[in-house]
Structure 1
Amino acid sequence: MAAAGATLEYDRMKEVKEFDDSRIGVKGLVDSGLSTIPRFFVHPPDRLSTLSPSSFLSVDIPVISLAGINSSRRAEIVNEIRAAAGICGFFQVVNHGVSQKILGETTSAIKSFHEQPVEMKKQYYGRQERGSVGYATNLDLFRSKAANWGHTLQVWTGPNPPELDQIPAICRKEVMAWDENVKRLAETVMELLCEGLGVTPSKLKELKCLESRAMVGHYYPYCPQADLTMGFPPHTDPGVLTVLLQNEIGGLQVKHGEKWVEVKPLPGALVINIGDFLQILSNNEYMSGQHRVLANRVREPRISIAVLINVDKTENSDSYGPLEELLSPEKPALYRKFTIEEFENKFFTKEIADKPLIDFFKL
């Protein structure tokens, strides 16, 4: 493979295919002792120019305690979540009801999967983005402008979870327990978000916004040339919302204006971010925050486990758009109606870091 900075002409797709066929992932490259990253991992200058500290903003995203959610403090929590969701679409929650034991076991299990010998992981390798279980470096590897320094285990846990023996044994129990806990938390957060919009608390659940869930367990190993690539490029999540668990290694950033803000790892906290679908349903009352992951500069791997929560499209021919309850002559719809099939097809045929998904549905 050509090294970063090489001047010789090279066949990019040939090298990408050779790397993909090897199934060793970026961890395999690191374990081989390389000191320069393959050229197809080098990102365009416009992305790399934003990696300097001058592009960073030293503020904290909101941290919201869910303690007292069924008490007189509920209205205060609703207001805090509404404000965070409306400004940058990101916030962290504490006192959320998921035990530290579950958080620790989930993180350890995903780390253990990625650190298995290559031969153990190869059987799961593939980039079936809509499949039940898959493991790959960059799900959009063949349609992206540059590869990212990380790899992912993906398990679709709803609405139709895979057979248990399809999930790697090393993390099977932990993945299913994590999904159950996230589902309960997400239902609570969705109720709070609905109350913030002034609609029925169960509105999102009634629209089947809780049933389709994909767990993505990301592993970002040390990168020898972190200034030339990214762990994950700037993007927004397509679904309703995302619940994220991250270990103590930082790197997640959310865009705030023209600057980037670090989402600092907090022990016991979970990150919540709004997805494109909910921005559309809320008619821009809530914002889908653009975010990215920097390439890892430290020797310890960064681990993040996200559950992407989407609308169930199984036998779903309904059309979606801004909620009628939010529309008025003073606040007309900003997006057209669409089906879930159209929404998903648009997402799965574009580069993840391409133009935001919501742009395809604006009026």
Structure 2
Amino acid sequence: MEWLAERHAFSESKGCVKELADAGITKLPPMFIDPKAKFVDPRPRNLTVPVIDLKHVSTDAVPRAKAVEQVQQACEKFGFFQLVNHGIPASVMDEMLEGVRRFNEQDSEVKKQFYSRDKTRTFSFCSNFGLFSRPEINWKDSIHAIMAPNPSNPEQYPPICRHIMTEYASYVMELGISLLELFSEGLGLQKNYLKEMDCAKGLVLMGHYSPKCPEPELTLGNSSHTDNSFFTILLQDQIGGLQILYENQWFNVLPMPGALLVNIGDLMQASTSPCHPYEVFK
């Protein structure tokens, strides 16, 4: 089939959208054209998702109880919430975003050393991990790094972003444990319940990069999807562009300076349902 041949050729060349953008193309290759893109509302309404302040949550019972209640309500109603005073320095967050940019904007031959669609590798890079499994592909390049449970030799990460990846991951692991405690308490369980289920063992870092597109009205940077991870901590740049489906309508989620966006993920329901007589997080 022609469409499959085009994708195989792209993959075998270790191609990426950054290369296409740098080449100055004026028309999108057919495989990037997504018929659903024309149905996307270019100016959807904005949605304010709950903002949860973690200041003093680990040391004071009053703000902790408030945070547990807010997490419970946010998970029931939205499946998303934003975190402030989460403990990750703004400088580390900014440098993590910069590290993703640096990796993608370096010489193509250097990037191709890490090119792979094998997500079991410690670090891999490609355009569209779902190149052969999804009907549509996006205008983006991605990195995928396994940070836990078995931290690898740092030498296996790219030198250009190695230090910040390991530093950022250490902060995220600590924050993840704190969130699991709040989730557990929101479910009426002991705070270590989800942690003792080994829910805090794994950590995968993904970074997406979308350069300027010649025909942005014909494609998407990321197609609509549900997140099947246990939960996801999203670090957004301040440009925005993230939308969530709420009450059958798409809304923009405006980024807050210094905040992190949390998506509780599909597996939260699967993981919590058997251990509680009713589902708190739906």
The interval holding the TM-score normalised by the smaller chain is over 0.9
Q: Any unmatched runs of 5+ in structure 1?
A: 1-9, 284-321, 333-357, 359-363
Judge conservation of contact 1:63–1:91 (CA < 8 Å) in 2: yes
Q: Deviations over 1:79-105 (max 9, x none)?
A: 111111111211110111111121111
> Which residue of the partner structure matches residue 142 of structure 1?
132
Give RMSD over aligned pairs.
1.7
Give the 4+ runs in structure 1 shifted more than 6 A: none
**CA separation in 1, counterparts of 2:238 and 2:210?**
12
1:131 matched to 2:113: no
> Which residue of the partner structure matches residue 7 of structure 2?
16
Aligned partner of 1:218 among 208, 215, 218: 208
Aligned partner of 2:56 among 55, 68, 77: 68
Letter in 2 for 1:194: S
Higher relative strand content: 1
Q: Any unmatched runs of 5+ in structure 2?
A: none
Structure with higher RCO (Cα < 8 A, 6+ apart): 2
Identity percentage of aligned residues: 35
1:271 matched to 2:258: no
Letter in 1 for 2:77: I
> Which residue of the partner structure matches residue 198 of structure 2?
208
Judge conservation of contact 1:149–1:220 (CA < 8 Å) in 2: yes
Judge conservation of contact 1:192–1:201 (CA < 8 Å) in 2: yes
The offset of 1:76, in angstroms, is 1.0
> Which residue of the partner structure matches residue 89 of structure 1?
79
Q: Deviations over 1:315-346 (max 9, x none)?
A: xxxxxxx21xx12xxx49xxxxxxxxxxxxxx
1:186 matched to 2:204: no
Letter in 1 for 2:32: F
Letter in 2 for 1:58: N
**CA separation in 2, counterparts of 1:102 and 1:168?**
17
Q: TM-score, normalised by structure 2?
A: 0.94
Helix, strand or coil for the counterpart of 1:230?
coil
1:196 matched to 2:164: no
> Which residue of the partner structure matches residue 52 of structure 1?
41
The aligned length equals: 278
1:102 matched to 2:88: no
Higher relative helix content: 2
**CA separation in 1, counterparts of 2:147 and 2:84?**
24
The offset of 1:53, in angstroms, is 4.0
Q: Report the CA distance shift for 1:50/1:196 in structure 2 as closer, same or farther (over 3 A).
A: farther
The offset of 1:119, in angstroms, is 0.7
Q: Report the CA distance shift for 1:96/1:88 in structure 2 as closer, same or farther (over 3 A).
A: same
